[in-house]
Chain A
Amino acid sequence: MNTHRYSRRAFLRGTGVSMALPWLESFNVWGDEPRRDKPASEAPVRLCVTFSGNGFHSKEWWAKGEAKRMELGKVLQPLNEFREKMLFVRGLYHEEARKGNIHSSQTGNMLSGAPIAAGGEIRSGTSFDQVLAQTYGRSTKVPSLVLACEKSNPSVHKNYSMLYSSHISWSSPTTPTPLELYPALAFDRLFKDEASPADKSVLDAVLADAQDLRREISRNDQRKLDEYLDSVRDVEKRIENAGKRGELQGWRPTLDKPNIKRPADGIPQDIGEHMRLMMDLLVLGFQTDTTRITTLKLNNDHSALRFPNLPSVQQAGHGIDYMIHHLLSHSDGEDWLKVNQFFMEQLAYLARKLDSIQEGARTLLDNTMIMHCSSMMAGAKHNNDQLPVIVIGGAGGRIQGGRTLDYTDKPERQMCRLFLSMMDKMGQHPKIFGDAKMMLEEV
């Protein structure tokens, strides 16, 4: 199996409709296997994208000032201790997400800016985390970890599949990356030893099946079957690569095996506990260098999550019934703010955890970019002409925190420009991505 050809093909398909010529020019730079001959002297940059649906409180998502003097709106208060490591970006948006329906067509292109297909079709664009997974991510055992704390909704809403509301990570324009909700299975994905020769033989066999089948089916079906072919190859590659990690020179991860045990089967009842457990796992993935890219969807857009442990402020004594995420978002009141803060508290937990791990001179947080975003600014308005987004962490010294960047009145304020910048921090330099042709210089 030629791995070079694989990445090229995956990449070509991955870029799909948003694919344009200038991409190819930059292709050689990152179409190849990461080089092993050049020892890395410092820790790699990690990417963690987190998402929460239904936007935030319409008046309390803001930040102003610089560094220590930076002031945060009430939503962001829980992140106060990290304000000097935080970049607050205002005014970015996705042109394509402004078309179509509320909710269902605002989220499926969150990380790609691609147009979304309606009418029973499933088509968006490869998300930037998955573009990185298919390039940068290939040097680790798990190219990327895609996690979620709320299951998706199997229906079609206003002519748009609800898959869009629950998938921000897309492996290809037609493949929303399946989500892992089970902490134990996420742990397995990272650490389970799949190096059984019998597994390998079975995978070889089914790969050959798929190649045979591919010849007999229509061209459209071939494209669908390629998802399967690529998946088999990917799992095979993991088996081949298992045990080869000792070849890394120079920088070494701070842990060589997990320091927590496999979580219990099932999903924790308490949503906060579920979120934090998923965060523990992604930190562990970074810390052991099992993966460098993680996407964690805390809840869906149009989310039905409940918060039985958060007492209602507005309707004292009746918290349980009333605290449903999507419903609350429409209220835009104290309780909504409280739920927003709850999410930011979880994010603070993640940042704190990353910041407590020292990797040489820097902390793991300093080597990471946590990007938190939502698909609309305020749930009460479904407005997405400006998207809420913050970046926490230093990207290995490449991002200076404690700043607010405002693009509100600037002409080129595509969210995809931020993605280009973030890809740049990870050494990937596509010339265009989605609807953007240039990075955000200020980031």
Chain B
Amino acid sequence: MKYFNSIRAIASCMVLHGLTFGADDFQTSILPLLKERCNSCHSTEKQKGDLDLERFASVADIKREPMIWEGVLDQLHMGEMPPKKEPQLAPEQKALLTKWVQDRLEEVALASAGDPGPVVLRRLSNMEYTYTLRDLTGVESLDPAKEFPVDGAAGEGFTNAGAALVMSPALLSKYLDAAKDVASHAVLTPQGLSFSSRTSQRDWTDEALAKIRAFYAQFTSSGSGSKVQAQGINLDTGDSGVLPLEQYLAATRDDQLAAKLNSKYLGRLRAALEGKESNVIFDLVRQQWRAEASAAQMTETIAQWQNALWRFSSIGHIGKLNGPKSWQVPVLPLTASELLRVKLPASGVTKLYLTSFAIGKASAIWENARIVKPGQQDRPVSISGEEAVIPADIGKDAEFIITARLHSDSQGAVQVRVLTAKPTGPAALVASKVIINKPGKKGTWSDGEKPLSFDAPILVGDNSDMRKQLTAQIAEFRELFPAALCYTKIVPADEVVTLTLFYREDEQLKRLMLNKNQIAEIDRLWDELRFISEAPLKQIDVFEQLWQFATQDADPKAFEPLREPIYRDAEVFKQQQLAAEPRHVQGAIDFATSAWRRPLSAAEQIELRSLYQKLRKQDLPHAAAVRMLIARVLVAPAFLYRGEKAAPGLKAAPVNDQELATRLSYFLWSSTPDEGLYQIAAAGKLQDPSVLAAQARRMLKDDKIRRLATEFGCQWLHVRDVGTLDEKSERHFPTFISLRGDMQEEVVRFFIDLFQNDRSVLSLLDADHTFVNASLAKHYALDVQGPGWQRFEGIQSKGRGGILGFAATLAKQSGASRTSAILRGTWLSEVILGDKLPIPPKGVPILPEETPANLSERQLIERHSRDENCAGCHRRIDPFGFALESFDAIGRARKADTKTVLPDGTSVDGLNDLRDYLMNKRGDDFLRQFCRKLLGYALGRSVQLSDRPLIDSMVRSDHRIGTLIDLIVRSPQFREVRGKDAVAQH
């Protein structure tokens, strides 16, 4: 600011000085010259070319309309005026006039330096609109402007200038439709609003489910559990949601691994392994741990016991009469007596071994041993010692049955088993297999719990102390090693007609692993699923259907206990929905604050709320009304336009904090301020230039800077559409279509690198690096490894480097099937260097699109440019293009004559010489043009005379992009807006 204040002070002095000084000159030497050489055509009467110079009778007149005199200067520079056939200005006359006009313009520039200028109210461009909606909703797939009319360009040639961003009834209807479409992505949650890439309740429900599953997946792994068919239904046996036990066991000896796992559980596991208190099952694991058995071995031991002490039940009908109460059910293999069964093969088994393992003082009594076969009388089997002898003639389908009973003297417990092979080694406690008995009859419904039996039961007295001890020890084991931490499937399908829509069972996870915050989070996710899916309301329908179905072929009474809770829950849910409604309306209002890029006034909030009420009165359901409210926010001028409040009168004044934040973020990101920028603006800190500049630096590093690369960088170089360019001859260049996207991507990546790494903008001319993928590398004949994008160093030695060697620019400035030195030369001259070229005359002879066989492309153009009418201009344009003739019409290297003489007489041969010339002799012109374009893009208007001091300071800087952007954002033209009554000067 200081700098500009001083400039302004100097400027006002100079105006006074210049007035008197210039005025004398004007009357004595300038006016006579104008009268003699210009005003005969450009008189008030004739106004040739719509130009009247006669009316400028004083220096003040001239200074009032500097744009006209900038035009006069251009004409003098180009040698267009006076016309060739008229008497010319003598060299000293031309020098005098030029100098005098330049000086006056300089005075005007200084006097008006920092003028915010006439910025036309800007509608969001299609790209800005798209980026903004993506950033607001977080939904990257939104493409709301896909079918909008293409935006025009204005100002310095960019699509972010207000003049070219129009509105019409048809377009407004499109905005309304697009807003409704975006609103259809809004998801109503218990807390407020969120946005989804999808638009149906079913998809949102799936997303909510996925969030819960993702949460569970942080703690669990897929187990080895398998689907079990029982009673005609599929049981889920913890095939996911399993404790990743092996990792945890390994982590007890590996601190690095431990750091990655859940510390709460790991702590408990360690304590249990190090524990001293005896536990018959646990001791088996502890023994292994102390003996440093592998984690896999220990996991196997534990898994056997998990299978013995847990089982799974179906949950599709959970809660019905005599039905299961949970998915994961504890199993207690303790009993006073047990019937043991062994299926016998037709032959091969001659002996069975009755084994027992005593815990404490206990023994088993074996009795009633027999062989049973369907349709035959039981055959008793004799027992000798601990062996049962099987007769040889039992045939097929025979089964050995024996009863084991605890001896009445026993105080301890005894595990009994019937084995087909003689046991070896010392007896030990083993994990029993759990046998789920088949029901008596096969039914459609899995009604009722079936008794379990075991192949290795532990016999213990019913009310004995030992039973209590064992029960407690088993429970302790189960607590630490649940078969599953949680039911991750959530949507059960384990009954023919499943009633349960979503099933939650994650007590074990919560107990063993989650902290308070995590429990709150998973509770919230479940709440969200319930709310989004409206499961409690749907549950009624499902229940009634099931009821009808069950009535047809079974007794539905088993479901009766479920009826009341389901209906009650639906009522509770409806109340929850009602209670959440105000939060959704508030959500839409909060959304408006982000969308409108400023806080809402109290009146605006009231208006939004009353619109919601009005919509409800028009019979819109709550959700539809909320979505309409969102649509209203998105079709409002506060969203679609970047309105800036102007101070009364003529004087420029700073824009407010939010408007400044908006200017900055649309400049750098083509989108709305992010939370960080918004908060700084809200705190009133952004007006501090150093804070503003620091934000710009931060934003340059962000990935969203890609948008500046395409919207500014590519648009400036005229390559924004190369990715879709379809004007190339497919016959001549069959590879172009598949390469064009890569060509543009190279430019985008080059700019991103420039922005993010604060490089000098001169590197656009003299970079020794670029970015290529495999296809582009092949196009450039570079040797790179791997298909992905990578930085390539040393590109200059390959004859390229910077914008002159981009395939995108070379291809864009070529014809369909041949190169065009004219197009490339004009581009370099006008777009890159900012030279002013005269408008080509009408009725010029036309070049054939295809080069005749006997000529090179260069010769074709040289022949054309020999024409008297054309030669003057073409001498200024074509040589730039000739120097690039060693690249074909899609930018491939080729052999060609690249020797030429540039307009100022410099001889060059090829790209390297051309680059040296540009760097050494035209560096300032290039910088000035870059700065002019960047400033025009930042401001959304044409650069004008009053911007000259700013551009001068940019050109004099260190040329790093960060510095240039710093100078722009600190400038008054970036930070201020013209007064309300200021009228645009054209």
A: which residues have CB within 8 A of B? 99-102, 115, 117, 119-123, 146, 151-156, 158, 161-163, 167, 171, 174-182, 185, 189, 194, 197-199, 201-203, 205-206, 208-210, 213, 216-221, 224-225, 227-228, 230-232, 234-235, 238, 304, 306, 315, 318, 320-322, 324, 327, 330-332, 380-383
Distance between Cα atoms of A224 and B161 in the complex (Å)? 12
Q: How many A-B residue pairs have CB under 8 A?
A: 229
Name 18 extra pairs, CB < 8 A, besides A156-B153, A156-B156.
Answer: A102-B839, A122-B154, A122-B163, A152-B149, A152-B152, A154-B159, A162-B152, A194-B173, A205-B632, A213-B641, A217-B121, A218-B977, A235-B176, A238-B169, A304-B727, A306-B727, A331-B849, A382-B843
Interface residues of B in 120-172 (CB under 8 A from A): 120-121, 123, 147-157, 159, 161-164, 166-172
- A225 adjacent to B121 (CB under 8 Å): yes
Which 9 residue pairs across A and B have the least CB separation, nearest first?
Answer: A163-B152, A321-B729, A120-B942, A156-B157, A221-B121, A234-B169, A330-B846, A224-B121, A218-B646
In terms of DSSP, what is the predominant structure of the interface of chain A? mixed
Tell yes or no: B392 within 8 A of A by CB: no
Tell yes or no: B568 within 8 A of A by CB: no
List chain A residues, Cβ under 8 A from B152: 122, 152, 154, 161-163, 167, 176
Closest A-chain residue to B718, C-beta based? A155
Can you list 7 A-B pairs with a CB-CB distance of less than 8 A? Answer: A120-B155, A155-B715, A180-B170, A201-B611, A218-B980, A235-B169, A321-B731
Distance between Cα atoms of A360 and B614 in the complex (Å)? 48
Interface residues of B in 842-856 (CB under 8 A from A): 842-843, 846-850
Distance between Cα atoms of A167 and B49 in the complex (Å)? 24
Select A177's contact among B168, B628, B981, beta carbons within 8 Å.
Answer: B168
Distance between Cα atoms of A138 and B901 in the complex (Å)? 62
- B628 adjacent to A202 (CB under 8 Å): yes
- B637 adjacent to A210 (CB under 8 Å): yes
List chain A residues, Cβ under 8 A from B850: 315, 322
Select B167's contact among A202, A228, A238, A331, beta carbons within 8 Å.
Answer: A228
Tell yes or no: B638 within 8 A of A by CB: yes
Q: Provided the pairs A185-B147, A306-B726 are in contact, do residues A224 and B162 lie with their beta carbons within 8 angstroms?
A: yes
Pick the most buried of B166, B173, B839: most chain A CB atoms within 10 A of its CB.
Answer: B166
List chain A residues, Cβ under 8 A from B615: 198, 201
Q: Provided the pairs A171-B168, A202-B632, A327-B849 are in contact, do residues A161 and B640 lie with their beta carbons within 8 angstroms?
A: no
Q: Provided the pairs A178-B171, A231-B168, A320-B730 are in contact, do residues A202 and B635 lie with their beta carbons within 8 angstroms?
A: yes
List chain B residues, Cβ under 8 A from A234: 169, 172
List chain A residues, Cβ under 8 A from B676: none
Select B638's contact among A101, A167, A194, A213, beta carbons within 8 Å.
Answer: A213
Closest B-chain residue to A165, C-beta based? B152
List chain B residues, Cβ under 8 A from A156: 153-157
- A209 adjacent to B637 (CB under 8 Å): yes
- A381 adjacent to B645 (CB under 8 Å): no
Tell yes or no: B607 within 8 A of A by CB: yes
List chain A residues, Cβ under 8 A from B620: 198
Select A218's contact among B174, B176, B936, B979, beta carbons within 8 Å.
Answer: B979
B115 to chain A, nearest CB (A): 14
List chain A residues, Cβ under 8 A from B979: 218
Closest B-chain residue to A221, C-beta based? B121
B565 to chain A, nearest CB (A): 38
- A232 adjacent to B172 (CB under 8 Å): yes
- A209 adjacent to B848 (CB under 8 Å): no
Distance between Cα atoms of A230 and B174 in the complex (Å)? 15
Distance between Cα atoms of A232 and B173 in the complex (Å)? 9
B389 to chain A, nearest CB (A): 83
Interface residues of B in 626-655 (CB under 8 A from A): 628, 631-632, 635-638, 640-641, 643-646
Tell yes or no: B815 within 8 A of A by CB: yes
- A161 adjacent to B164 (CB under 8 Å): yes
- B816 adjacent to A217 (CB under 8 Å): no
Q: Provided the pairs A122-B163, A231-B167, A235-B173 are in contact, do residues A198 and B643 lie with their beta carbons within 8 angstroms?
A: no
Select A217's contact among B49, B154, B643, beta carbons within 8 Å.
Answer: B643
Q: Provided the pairs A120-B156, A231-B171, A383-B842 are in contact, do residues A218 and B636 lie with their beta carbons within 8 angstroms?
A: no
B143 to chain A, nearest CB (A): 13
Distance between Cα atoms of A210 and B123 in the complex (Å)? 13
B: which residues have CB within 8 A of A? 49-50, 67, 118, 120-121, 123, 147-157, 159, 161-164, 166-174, 176, 607, 611, 614-615, 618, 620, 624-625, 628, 631-632, 635-638, 640-641, 643-646, 715, 718, 720, 726-727, 729-732, 815-817, 839-840, 842-843, 846-850, 936, 941-942, 977-984, 986
- A99 adjacent to B49 (CB under 8 Å): yes
- A146 adjacent to B628 (CB under 8 Å): no
B118 to chain A, nearest CB (A): 6
B866 to chain A, nearest CB (A): 19
List chain A residues, Cβ under 8 A from B732: 321
Select A198's contact among B161, B628, B640, B646, beta carbons within 8 Å.
Answer: B628
Distance between Cα atoms of A320 and B86 in the complex (Å)? 48
List chain A residues, Cβ under 8 A from B176: 199, 202-203, 235
List chain B residues, Cβ under 8 A from A232: 172
Distance between Cα atoms of A284 and B82 in the complex (Å)? 56
- B166 adjacent to A178 (CB under 8 Å): yes
List chain A residues, Cβ under 8 A from B155: 120, 156
- B843 adjacent to A381 (CB under 8 Å): yes
Select A99's contact among B50, B167, B980, beta carbons within 8 Å.
Answer: B50
Closest A-chain residue to B169, C-beta based? A234
Distance between Cα atoms of A31 and B60 in the complex (Å)? 43
List chain A residues, Cβ under 8 A from B817: 321-322
Select B641's contact among A122, A176, A228, beta carbons within 8 Å.
Answer: A228
List chain A residues, Cβ under 8 A from B986: 117, 121
Distance between Cα atoms of A159 and B173 in the complex (Å)? 32
Q: Provided the pairs A220-B121, A228-B637 are in contact, do residues A152 and B150 lie with their beta carbons within 8 angstroms?
A: yes
List chain A residues, Cβ under 8 A from B49: 99
B902 to chain A, nearest CB (A): 22
Distance between Cα atoms of A174 and B848 in the complex (Å)? 38
A299 to chain B, nearest CB (A): 14
B308 to chain A, nearest CB (A): 61
- B153 adjacent to A154 (CB under 8 Å): yes
Closest B-chain residue to A315, C-beta based? B850
List chain B residues, Cβ under 8 A from A320: 730-731
Distance between Cα atoms of A194 and B614 in the complex (Å)? 18
A111 to chain B, nearest CB (A): 16
- A318 adjacent to B618 (CB under 8 Å): no
Pick the most buried of A198, A225, A238: most chain B CB atoms within 10 A of its CB.
Answer: A198
List chain A residues, Cβ under 8 A from B147: 182, 185
List chain B residues, Cβ under 8 A from A380: 846
Pick the most buried of A115, A178, A182, A382: most chain B CB atoms within 10 A of its CB.
Answer: A178
A167 to chain B, nearest CB (A): 8
